[in-house]
Amino acid sequence: MFVLLIAVEGAFQTRASIADTFNREAEMQRAQIDLQEMLRLQINEENSLRGFVLTRDPFYVQQYALASAQWAAKETAVHNALVDERLGTALQMLDEYDTVQTRWRREIALPLLTRPRSELVELDKKNKAFVDYQAQTADGVRAILVVTSAALVRSTQDQINRSSYMRAFWLLIFGLLAILFNAYGSRLTRELHEERMVSDVLQEAFRSAHVPVPNCEIGARYLSASARLRVGGDVYDVFLLSEKRALLLIADVSGKGVDAAVLTAFVRFTVRSIALRHVDPGNILTEFNETFGRTVDNPSLFITMLVGVLDCSDGSFTYASAGHDSAYVRRSTSVESLPVTGPLVGVIEATYGTKSVQLAVGDALVLATDGLTEARARSGELLGERAAMDLIGAAPREAQALADYLAVHVRKRSGNRPTDDLALLVVRYAGEDGGDA
């Protein structure tokens, strides 16, 4: 944009400069014509004088006076043009021309107008000297005018050429800049696209997921505190350990965004791996706590999590909870909280206990992260555990409908701007019949 402004401003300046040179050149041309006119009027004066001497007719005196006045006017015009153009030498010549003409009038013309004589031989000779001299000075002035005029024409041509070169130069610069900016823009767009692709792939990898579990109905929702990311520090997982047993996991990693999401992937796959070797959830958590301490250097990171194993054949659920208190069982007429069985993961070395609950047909495990109980209203008030349990009790019975109900409530409560991630996993035991209880 700056380059374009310079180019436009330069074009205006060049145009003004060329116009000025054209005006000066035109003035020089006019001065040459005026000079030629002075010579013609000088001859008119001389002829009028001869006419008067030969005829004594006053008409010739009038013609003489008229030519003299016109000569003076032309002389002034040429004088001004030479002053404007600062042609000192030509000015001196013109002054000399003027002086000689004045002397001619005084020494030749005036005596003849006063006492006309027919004998003109000596006067003719003297007149010849005047005329020759004036012609020479006029030639000198004309030569300078011609040279100056030619120089101005050359100058004009040079300015036009220079202007064309400069215009081409600025256009070239502008074009190059446009190409550079376009290339830079394309590169940025490409890099952005690549980043987006990487981000999408990572989000897909880190996303919580579940598989169908026999005799169970599963519902899940995930709300991210980040508007652009579909992942965060909360995670849930449903993994079949055998035909009858399913591993259920819900965890909340401290922190938010991509960094926390990377850690959730570690949690999911490490717990799956440990669960394939251990039957007891307490042992799973104990080993995971050890692994976490050895793997993650950052002492400020910790995890609340619940790991449970659901026996799909009879609805028994054993679990271990590392400080994860947002886990509930919804019965047909009540909602129970699942107590924790050990400290947060990543804080201290600990042995985690295991607890069991029995699910009846139609009962549902509602595993959430603290995004539920700590859902903040606009006034800053937290939802709290009691209200969360009331909410679960009032929710629809179907697993996905229940999860959606809770998510909608949290989103509405926070004015569509949740301050924390929320993971919801609902597993409703349907029994062998798969029917509704």
Partner 1 sequence: MRELARPVAAVLLALLCALPAAAACQLRAHERVVLFGAGDDPGVLLWDSRFRLRAYHAASFDEAQDMIARALLVTAGTRAIVIACLPQFVQPRYGLTLDDAVEVRILTGPLHGRSGWVLGSDARR
Q: Quick check: 42 binds partner 1 (CB under 8 A)?
A: yes
CB of 150 to partner 1, least distance (A): 11
Q: Quick check: 131 binds partner 1 (CB under 8 A)?
A: yes
Q: Which of 20, 148, 130, 129 is nearest to 78 (CA)?
A: 148
Stretch near partner 1 under the rule CB under 8 A, chosen from 6-14, 119-127, 249-257, 280-288 = 119-127
- Closest to partner 1 by CB, 74 or 210: 74
Question: Which position among 81, 100, 260, 303 is part of the footprint of partner 1 (CB under 8 A)?
Answer: 100
Secondary structure percentages of the chain, helix, strand, coil, to 5: 60, 15, 25
Q: Which of 250, 223, 246, 252 is nearest to 237 (CA)?
A: 250
- Closest to partner 1 by CB, 130 or 288: 130
Q: Which of 303, 398, 395, 383 is nearest to 345 (CA)?
A: 303
Q: Quick check: 132 binds partner 1 (CB under 8 A)?
A: yes
Q: Quick check: 102 binds partner 1 (CB under 8 A)?
A: no
CB-side neighbour CA atoms (13 Å) of 45: 27
Report helix angle 281-295 to 257-275, nearest 10: 130
- Closest to partner 1 by CB, 129 or 176: 129
Q: Which of 393, 404, 406, 374 is nearest to 336 (CA)?
A: 393
Question: Which position among 48, 137, 304, 318 is part of the footprint of partner 1 (CB under 8 A)?
Answer: 137
Q: Quick check: 108 binds partner 1 (CB under 8 A)?
A: no
Residue count at the site for partner 1 (CB under 8 A)? Answer: 31
Stretch near partner 1 under the rule CB under 8 A, chosen from 18-26, 27-35, 41-49, 280-288 = 41-49
CB of 108 to partner 1, least distance (A): 11
State the first-to-last Cα distance of the chain, in angstroms, to the nearest integer: 73
Query: What's the maximum distance between 2 C-alpha atoms anywhere in the chain?
Result: 158
Q: Rounded to whole angstroms, how far apart are CA atoms 367 and 373?
A: 12
Question: Which position among 57, 84, 124, 158 is part of the footprint of partner 1 (CB under 8 A)?
Answer: 124
Q: Quick check: 119 binds partner 1 (CB under 8 A)?
A: no
- Closest to partner 1 by CB, 36 or 242: 36
- Show Cβ contacts of residue 90 under 8 Å, excluding neighbours closer than 6 positions: 82, 140, 141, 144, 145
Stretch near partner 1 under the rule CB under 8 A, chosen from 137-145, 306-314, 335-343, 351-359 = 137-145
**Hey, what are 155's tokens?**
């100058």
Q: Rounded to whole angstroms, how far apart are CA atoms 239 and 38?
A: 115
- Closest to partner 1 by CB, 148 or 321: 148
- The binding site for partner 1 (CB under 8 A) comprises 39, 42-43, 46, 88-89, 92-93, 96, 99-100, 103, 121, 124-129, 131-137, 139-140, 143-144, 147
